[in-house]
């Protein structure tokens, strides 16, 4: 093993060699344990950089500099923020249900961290290759909704509970198109293992983005909703419900919820890159796994930049619009795409990959146009809302009493 | 390796606890929760028998998945009934729900 | 096999340590001077009125319900998608029938107006 | 004892303890959270049985959806969340006795069965999901139950919305 081209395998071999004379299960357990620590620390360490990236990107969109005081380019700003959060007082409201209140932030970060167990970073660099990997991601992700509900309920605060309920309604609603759109790469790869899905996208036109563009976009949109980022950030709409379910949290516990959200935002970028853009695949990645890691990070960061872009561009959506967009547009469209993809996959079995991609891409385009026409037709049938012509209340300064108050 | 008996005793214990909950609890939602425990015990049994007798045949797994579907339907309708009852009668205590008595 | 799940099992144990450790660290590093006003429920600075564990509208339940049904549907469809190579056109069509039957329920919910907010 | 056995015992004890908390905790939301722990442990038991797919499906369906539905239902059905008064009947000892008797009877009956101490046959779960998929949709397998499950699910959705929806 060459250390430079494949450091992970080299270290693994070296460790197993060191422990060659230990009794049977222990070397395995220890290597797995170290693997867990490495993967989890990688995820958490990433959060520190991501917060900086996010702030810089948002600043550029708003024509500002962003953090630029602490360290080169303000890189250590996040470290300073984390230190500040740790030295804050960690308050617990008297009325809270304490065990549940303390458990919620732990579960919230834990659920995101667990997803990283099955992410393939490069060829053979992955925590574990479960043969039900994709469903595992869905399962672990759904723990997050539970954490939100626990945080909201245990805070014993009207805003927290209202925020939690809204959040959970949003999370469970958008989970439906999310899982249906995940089904499509599974169907194209004939496997639920994340590693096998990456393996199936071995040519440029074999990337599932070309075979299932609608599924990729639906997955991306509903993942953003799962994370609760703009434009789907109703769960922390300050003007309506203060800060949502984590209003009562402070100090390190708030930091955990916050870190969980940031890591989740990057995780969806990673998942989009893995499921639809070929993950670590790229020229030379087979031979030099470290190159695969570079591709993987580049693709994920590319998707992450789009997430930041959307965040700093779009305004917040109203809750009824958000839910009807999900149930009346994304879910039927995802189901239709699934049916069309299933039929086409069966019909085109054995054809060349580029041909399959071309036909599927065109079918997706047609499907999207049809969906658009249906939406337009439905909108045209709705009675238009009358905005003009009715007297509206106008704020006027009161004439007499105001003058008296001034005097 | 674990003998089959461990799984069977485990699921029998889980089933009994669930039965206690169904019989002793007053709140209808709590009764549904206890029923979840009982259904889980059954599912453990199904999967254990599949694994220990004939794992190459998927029938056991199909059964387990079917139990999932039935549980989902049961919970969905059961909780909807409880909510609807609560709206009409302002109670979720199972004993007080006696509209079908005559 | 089980070896793959060993990693997940260890991850479940260690993964819990990662969030717990900073919280404990925060406990030691941060000040701890509670007082009744600080520990009061925060509702925009207003005095808290009444219980917060109040009742909610049935709408939330409907969304969770639809989610549950579609979740179960997807669990059924995942094996179907994975076994796609072994299936003939008939099996594919039967999977599609499965989806269409469920779409009926979605259409019912839509017509009933249960998918509207408020 | 080998490590797998120790893991099983830990998982089983966690599940049973959580199950006892589910049926005894007066606070219903907490009972639902204990139920989540019990269901999570059950998923662990499925993993020990090499049924990875069932384990993950358990987490998706039970913890992801059913437990949230339970908590919603608890919150929809009360005006005051603090539970007052006993949550069990006065004659709670009767069901306790009954379930203890059921458990003893089951163990006694099973211990007389010849297959009780059977050990696990070798099995590789590499193709588990494919086999399950083929069994579900092939006409020689479980095609009819598969479609009936779909009908059941949509009937449940329609029925539940019909019952719970109150607005015309």
B15 band by pLDDT with thresholds 50, 70 and 90: very high
Q: Is C61 on the interface with A (CB under 8 A)?
A: no
Give the residues across from B27 on adjacent strands. Answer: B93
Q: Which residue of D has its CA nearest to B75?
A: D66
State the smallest CA–CA distance between residue B26 and chain C in angstroms: 20
**Rounded mean pLDDT of chain C?**
81
- C-proximal residues of B, 40-69, CB under 8 Å: 65, 68-69
Is the CB of B47 less than 8 angstroms away from the CB of D117?
A: no
What is the average per-residue pLDDT within A375-401? 72
What is the average per-residue pLDDT within A103-107? 90
- B35 alpha carbon, distance to own chain's centre: 3
CA distance B61 to C109: 31
Of B15 and D117, which is predicted with more confidence? B15
CA A325-A326-A329 angle, to 5 degrees, is 65
Q: Which residue of B has its CA nearest to C72?
A: B69
Is the CB of A339 less than 8 angstroms away from the CB of C43?
A: no
Q: Residue by residue, what is the 3-state secondary structure of chain C?
A: CHHHHHHHHHHHHHHHHHHHHHHHHHHHHCCCCCCCCCCCCCCCCCCCCCCCCCCCCCHHHHHHHHHHHHHHHHHHHHHHHHCHHHCCHHHHHHHHHHHHHHHHHHHHHHHHCCCCCC
- DSSP secondary structure, A321-383, as one string: HHHHHIIIIIHHHHHHHHHHHHHHHHHTTTS-HHHHHHHHHHHHHHHHHHHHHHHHHHHHHSP
**pLDDT of res. A401:** 58
CA distance D34 to B89: 28
Pick the closest to residue A195 from A315, A269, A278 (CA basis). Answer: A278
Is the CB of C76 less than 8 angstroms away from the CB of B69?
A: yes
Q: DSSP label at D88? A: B
Domain boundaries of chain A, sorted by first residue: 7-201+217-316
Q: Convert the pLDDT of each residue in A236-253 to its tens digit.
A: 665 555 567 777 787 888
Domain boundaries of chain C, sorted by first residue: 2-112
- Is pLDDT of D80 > 50? no
Pick the closest to residue D70 from B13, A33, C61 (CA basis). Answer: C61
Is the CB of A32 less than 8 angstroms away from the CB of C75?
A: no
**Which chains would you list as touching C if contact means 3+ CB atom pairs under 8 Å?**
A, B, D
CA distance A216 to A274: 11
What is the average per-residue pLDDT within D78-90? 60
Q: Output b/e per residue, D100-119; b: 16+ Cβ within 10 A.
A: eeebeebbeeeeeeeeeebe
D156 band by pLDDT with thresholds 50, 70 and 90: very high
Q: Is C61 on the interface with D (CB under 8 A)?
A: yes
Q: Convert the pLDDT of each residue in A193-234 to its tens digit.
A: 888 898 888 888 888 888 899 999 999 999 999 888 878 877
Q: Is B29 on the interface with C (CB under 8 A)?
A: no
Cis peptide before A70 (omega within 30 of 0): no
Q: Convert the pLDDT of each residue in A258-276 to its tens digit.
A: 888 889 989 999 999 999 9
What is the average per-residue pLDDT within A7-36? 79
Size of interface A-D (CB pairs under 8 A): 57
**pLDDT of res. A258:** 84
- Is pLDDT of C12 > 50? yes
Domains, chain B:
4-96 (1.10.287.3510)
- D-proximal residues of C, 20-59, CB under 8 Å: 51, 53-56, 58
Give the residues across from A125 on adjacent strands. Answer: A122
Q: Is D42 on the interface with B (CB under 8 A)?
A: yes
Chain B contacts of D89, Cβ < 8 Å?
Answer: 24, 26, 95
CA distance C102 to C50: 43
Of A158 and C24, which is predicted with more confidence? C24
Q: Which residue of D has its CA nearest to A179?
A: D60
CA distance A267 to A130: 18
- A-proximal residues of C, 94-113, CB under 8 Å: 95-96, 99-100, 103, 106, 109-110
In this structure, is the dihedral angle defined by the CA atoms of residues D138, D139, D141 and D144, taken in order, positive or negative? positive
- DSSP secondary structure, A155-178, as one string: TT-HHHHHHHHHHHHHHHHHHHHH
Structure tokens that stand for A323 in this block: 């839910």
A134 contacts A181 by C-beta, under 8 angstroms: no
Give the residues across from B93 on adjacent strands. Answer: B27
CA distance A139 to A126: 19
Structure tokens that stand for D94 in this block: 């009767």
Domain boundaries of chain D, sorted by first residue: 1-79, 129-168
Chain D contacts of A97, Cβ < 8 Å?
Answer: 30
Topology adopted by domain D1-79: 1.20.120
What is the average per-residue pLDDT within B20-49? 90
**pLDDT of res. A178:** 92
CA A304-A308-A312 angle, to 5 degrees, is 170
Chain C contacts of D137, Cβ < 8 Å?
Answer: 80, 83, 87, 91, 94-95
C54 band by pLDDT with thresholds 50, 70 and 90: low
For the domain bounded by C2-112, which CATH number is listed?
Answer: 1.20.58.1610
- A163 alpha carbon, distance to own chain's centre: 20
Q: Convert the pLDDT of each residue in B64-73 to its tens digit.
A: 999 999 999 9
What is the average per-residue pLDDT within D143-151? 90
State the smallest CA–CA distance between residue B102 and chain D in angstroms: 23
In this structure, is the dihedral angle defined by the CA atoms of residues C73, B83, B44 and D4, taken in order, positive or negative? positive
């Amino acid at each position: 093993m060459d250390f430079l081209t494949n450091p992970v395998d080299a270290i693994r071999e070296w460790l197993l060699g060191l422990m060659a004379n230990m009794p049977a299960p222990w070397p395995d357990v220890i290597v797995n344990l170290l693997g867990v620590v490495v993967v989890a620390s990688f995820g958490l360490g990433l959060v520190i950089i991501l917060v900086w990236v996010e702030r810089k990107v948002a600043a550029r969109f708003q024509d500002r500099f962003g953090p630029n005081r602490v360290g080169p380019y303000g890189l250590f700003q996040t470290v300073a923020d984390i230190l500040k959060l740790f030295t804050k007082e960690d308050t617990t409201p008297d009325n809270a249900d304490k065990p549940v209140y303390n458990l919620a932030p732990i579960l919230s970060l834990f659920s995101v961290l667990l997803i990283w167990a099955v992410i393939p970073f490069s060829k053979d660099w992955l925590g574990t290759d479960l043969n039900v990997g994709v469903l595992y991601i869905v399962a672990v992700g759904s723990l997050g909704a539970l954490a939100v509900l626990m945080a909201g309920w245990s805070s014993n605060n009207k805003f927290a509970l209202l925020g939690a309920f809204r959040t959970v309604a949003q999370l469970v609603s958008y989970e439906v198109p999310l899982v249906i759109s995940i089904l499509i790469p599974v169907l194209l790869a004939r496997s639920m293992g994340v590693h096998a899905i990456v393996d199936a996208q071995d040519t440029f036109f074999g990337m599932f983005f070309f075979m299932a563009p609608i599924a990729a976009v639906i997955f991306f949109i509903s993942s953003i909703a799962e994370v609760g980022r703009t434009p789907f950030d109703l769960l922390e709409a300050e003007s309506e419900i203060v800060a949502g379910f984590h209003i009562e949290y402070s100090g390190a516990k708030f930091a955990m919820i916050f870190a969980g959200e940031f890591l989740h935002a990057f995780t969806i970028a990673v998942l989009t890159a893995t499921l639809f853009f070929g993950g670590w695949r790229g020229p030379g990645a087979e031979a030099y796994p470290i190159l695969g890691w570079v591709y993987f990070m580049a693709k994920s960061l590319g998707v992450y930049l789009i997430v930041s872009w959307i965040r700093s561009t779009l305004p917040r959506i109203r809750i009824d619009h958000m839910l009807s967009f999900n149930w009346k547009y994304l879910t039927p469209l995802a189901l239709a795409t699934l049916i069309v993809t299933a039929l086409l996959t069966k019909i085109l079995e054995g054809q060349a990959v580029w041909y399959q991609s071309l036909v599927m891409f065109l079918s997706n385009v047609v499907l999207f146009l049809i969906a658009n026409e249906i939406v337009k037709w439905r909108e045209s049938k709705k009675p238009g809302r009358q905005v003009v012509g009715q007297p509206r209340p106008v704020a006027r300064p009161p004439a007499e009493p105001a003058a008296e108050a001034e005097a | 390796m674990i003998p089959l008996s461990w799984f069977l005793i485990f699921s029998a214990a889980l089933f009994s606890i669930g039965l206690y909950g169904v019989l002793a609890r007053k709140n209808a939602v709590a009764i549904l929760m206890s029923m979840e425990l009982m259904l889980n015990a059954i599912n453990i049994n199904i999967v254990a028998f599949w694994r220990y007798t004939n794992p190459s045949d998927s029938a056991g797994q199909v059964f387990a998945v079917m139990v999932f579907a039935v549980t989902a339907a049961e919970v969905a309708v059961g909780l909807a009934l409880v909510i609807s009852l609560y709206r009409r009668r302002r109670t979720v205590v199972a004993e007080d729900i006696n509209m079908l008595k005559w | 096999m089980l070896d793959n799940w060993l990693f997940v099992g260890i991850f479940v144990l260690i993964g819990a340590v990662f969030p717990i450790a900073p919280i404990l660290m925060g406990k030691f590093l941060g000040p701890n001077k509670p007082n009744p006003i600080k520990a009061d429920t925060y509702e925009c600075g207003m005095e808290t009125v009444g219980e917060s564990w109040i009742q909610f509208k049935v709408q939330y339940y409907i969304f969770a319900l639809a989610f549950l049904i579609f979740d179960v549907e997807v669990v059924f469809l995942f094996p179907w998608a994975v076994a796609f190579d072994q299936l003939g056109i008939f099996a594919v069509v039967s999977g599609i029938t499965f989806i269409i039957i469920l779409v009926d329920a979605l259409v019912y919910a839509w017509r009933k107006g249960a998918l509207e907010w408020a | 004892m080998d490590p797998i056995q120790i893991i099983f015992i830990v998982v089983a004890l966690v599940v049973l303890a959580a199950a006892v908390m589910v049926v005894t905790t007066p606070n219903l939301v907490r009972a639902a959270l204990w139920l989540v722990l019990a269901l999570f442990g059950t998923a662990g038991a499925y993993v020990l049985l090499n049924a990875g797919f069932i384990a993950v499906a358990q987490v998706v369906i039970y913890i992801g959806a059913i437990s949230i539905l339970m908590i919603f239902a608890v919150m929809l059905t009360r005006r005051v969340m603090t539970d007052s008064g006993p949550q069990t009947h006065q004659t709670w000892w009767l069901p306790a006795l009954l379930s203890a008797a059921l458990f003893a009877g089951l163990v006694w009956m099973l211990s007389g069965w010849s297959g009780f101490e059977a050990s696990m046959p070798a099995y590789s779960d590499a193709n588990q999901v494919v086999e399950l998929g083929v069994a579900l949709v092939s006409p020689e397998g479980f095609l009819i139950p598969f479609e009936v499950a779909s009908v059941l699910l949509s009937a449940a959705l329609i029925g539940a919305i019909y019952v719970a929806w109150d607005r015309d």
